[in-house]
Amino acid sequence: MNYITAIVDVPTMQTNQPYTYRVPEKFTDLISPGMRIVVPFGKGNRRIQGFVTAVLDTLPTNVDVTKVKAVDDIIELEPVLNTELLALGQWLATENFSFQISVFQTMLPNVMRAKYTKTLQLVDQTAVTDERVQQLFADRFEVPFAVDEIDEELLPVLKRYQMSKAIQVGYHVENQARVKTAPVIEVLAEASFYEALRQQLPATAKKKARILTFLMQQAQGKVLLARAVMQQLHVTSADLNTAAAAGWLRRDEIETYRLPQLSQPVARTEPLTLNAEQQLAYDKIATTLTRAGTDTFLLEGITGSGKTEVYLHAIAETISQGKTAMMLVPEITLTPQMVRRVQGRFGDTVAVMHSGLSDGERYDEWRRVERDEVNVVVGARSAVFAPLKNIGLIIIDEEHEATYKQDENPRYHARDVALWRARYHGATVVLGSATPSLESRARAQRGVYELLRLTKRAQHNPLPEAVVVDMREVMQNSGEENFSPLLVEKLKDRLDRHEQTVLMLNRRGYANFMMCRDCGYVPRCKNCDLALTVHKETGRLECHYCGYNEIIPQVCANCGSRRISPYGTGTEKIEELLQDIVPDARVIRMDVDTSRKKGATDKMLQSFGDKEADILLGTQMIAKGLDFPDVTLVGVLNADTTLGLPDYRASEKTFQLLTQVAGRAGRADKAGEVVIQTFNPDHYAIQLAREQNYEAFYQTEMQLRHAWNYAPYFYAIQLKFANETEAEAAKVAYATVKWLQNKIAPETVILGPSSGAVRRLKNKYYYRVLIKFKHDEGLEQALLELAEGAQRLAKHGTMLSIDRDPVNFI
- Among ligand ADP, Zn ion, none, residue 275 binds (CB under 5-8 Å by kind): ligand ADP
Of 83, 103, 78, nearest in space to 371 by CA:
78
Choice between 170 and 379, CB closer to ligand ADP: 379
Separation CA 338–CA 266 (nearest Å): 11
CB of 461 to ligand ADP, least distance (A): 9
Separation CA 366–CA 103 (nearest Å): 17
The CA–CA distances, whole Å, from 359 to 111, 258, 364, 414, 690 equal 6, 10, 9, 21, 43
- Among ligand ADP, Zn ion, none, residue 306 binds (CB under 5-8 Å by kind): ligand ADP
Is 559 annotated to bind ligand?
A: yes
- Among Zn ion, ligand ADP, none, residue 272 binds (CB under 5-8 Å by kind): ligand ADP
Q: Quick check: 280 binds ligand ADP (CB under 6 A)?
A: no
Is 685 annotated to bind ligand?
A: no
Binders of ligand ADP among residues 433 to 462 (CB under 6 A) are: 458-459
Residue 406's H or E segment, with its range, is none
Q: How far is CA 389 from the centre of its chain?
A: 22
Select the residue interacting with ligand ADP from 36, 208, 307, 490 (CB under 6 A): 307
CB of 524 to Zn ion, least distance (A): 9
Choice between 624 and 705, CB closer to ligand ADP: 624
Q: Quick check: 18 binds ligand ADP (CB under 6 A)?
A: no
Is 528 annotated to bind ligand?
A: yes
Select the residue interacting with ligand ADP from 5, 288, 303, 571 (CB under 6 A): 303
Select the residue interacting with ligand ADP from 18, 34, 170, 301 (CB under 6 A): 301
**Per-residue buried b or exposed e for 338-351, using 16+ beta carbons within 10 Å of the residue's own CB:** bbbbbbebbeeebb
Q: Quick check: 275 binds ligand ADP (CB under 6 A)?
A: yes
Coil vs helix vs strand at 2: strand
CB of 286 to ligand ADP, least distance (A): 16
Is 516 annotated to bind ligand?
A: yes
Kindly write down the DSSP assignment for every residue of 203-269, as one continuous string. Answer: TT-HHHHHHHHHHHTSPTT-EEEHHHHHHHHT--HHHHHHHHHTTSEEEEEEEE------SSPPPP-
Choice between 395 and 471, CB closer to ligand ADP: 395
Is 556 annotated to bind ligand?
A: yes
Q: Quick check: 278 binds ligand ADP (CB under 6 A)?
A: yes
Q: Quick check: 305 binds ligand ADP (CB under 6 A)?
A: yes
Choice between 558 and 801, CB closer to Zn ion: 558
Q: Are 587 and 613 in contact (CB under 8 A)?
A: yes
Separation CA 408–CA 802 (nearest Å): 10
CB of 662 to ligand ADP, least distance (A): 12
Of 748, 764, 744, nearest in space to 756 by CA:
764
Residue 153's contacts (CB-CB under 8 Å, 6 or more residues apart) are none
Q: Are 769 and 752 in contact (CB under 8 A)?
A: yes
Other Cβ atoms closer than 10 A to 501: 28
Choice between 80 and 342, CB closer to ligand ADP: 342
Select the residue interacting with ligand ADP from 55, 189, 274, 316 (CB under 6 A): 274
Q: Quick check: 50 binds ligand ADP (CB under 6 A)?
A: no
Is 557 annotated to bind ligand?
A: no
Choice between 165 and 526, CB closer to Zn ion: 526
The CA–CA distances, whole Å, from 26 to 29, 46, 81, 497, 580 equal 8, 22, 22, 76, 76
- Among Zn ion, ligand ADP, none, residue 516 binds (CB under 5-8 Å by kind): Zn ion
Residue 802 burial by Cβ neighbours in a 10 Å radius (0-12, 13-18, 19+) = buried
CB of 655 to ligand ADP, least distance (A): 17
Q: What single letter denotes the amino acid at residue 310?
A: V
Query: N- to C-terminal Cα distance for the chain?
Result: 54
- Among Zn ion, ligand ADP, none, residue 558 binds (CB under 5-8 Å by kind): Zn ion
CB of 605 to ligand ADP, least distance (A): 14
Q: Which parts of this chain interact with Zn ion (CB under 5 A)?
A: 516, 518-519, 521, 525, 527-528, 543, 545-546, 548, 556, 558-559, 561
Choice between 527 and 709, CB closer to Zn ion: 527
Q: What angle do CA 237, 239, 244 make, to 5 degrees?
A: 95
Binders of ligand ADP among residues 609 to 668 (CB under 6 A) are: 627, 667
For residue 466, list its beta bridge partners. 674
Of 679, 690, 682, nearest in space to 482 by CA:
679
Q: How far is CA 374 from the centre of its chain?
A: 21
How many residues bind ligand ADP, per CB under 6 A?
A: 17
- Among ligand ADP, Zn ion, none, residue 548 binds (CB under 5-8 Å by kind): Zn ion
Choice between 208 and 624, CB closer to ligand ADP: 624
Separation CA 215–CA 277 (nearest Å): 59
Contact residues toward ligand ADP (CB under 6 A) are 272-275, 278, 301, 303-309, 458-459, 627, 667
Please enumerate, by residue number, every residue annotated as part of a binding site for Zn(2+).
516, 519, 525, 528, 543, 546, 556, 559
